[in-house]
Amino acid sequence: MKNYRASDTSEDISESDLRQAVALFYDGDSAPTISAKGEGNTAQEIIDIAREHGVTLCENKALLELLMTLELGEEIPENLYIAIAQIIAFAYQLQGKSPADNIDY
């Protein structure tokens, strides 16, 4: 089980410039859900925790704006499946893995 987050922040942006962050939970069995979201200091905490746990970070302001409208625990809507799937696939690739690595046969 991994969390993936979309954010309009990067490591080069200072904490005072931080605006928003969203964390996604995806277990491979159902649609990803919003596991955390916040602004300001809360956004920074989300980012810090993600970094501490080696979670892949992704910047995408347009996607972030859409995800921020969802409630905690809410599944991402179908119209975002492709965008989120591309991010998850890229995160797996960065880790030298494949989504199939999580399937128990």
pTM for the model:
0.74
Beta strands in 16-85 (DSSP E): 20-26, 33-39, 57-59
Parallel, antiparallel, or unpaired for β 33-39 and 20-26?
antiparallel
Cβ atoms of 103 and 28 within 8 Å: the answer is: yes
Would you say 19 and 59 are in contact if contact means Cβ atoms under 8 Å apart? no
Q: What are the pLDDT tens digits along the chain (105 aa)? A: 445 455 444 444 455 455 899 999 998 889 999 999 999 999 999 999 999 999 889 999 999 999 999 999 999 999 999 999 999 898 888 888 876 666 554
Structural domains of the chain sorted by starting position, each given as residue range(s) with its CATH number in brackets: 2-102 (3.40.1690.10)
Distance of CA 48 to the CA centre of its chain: 13
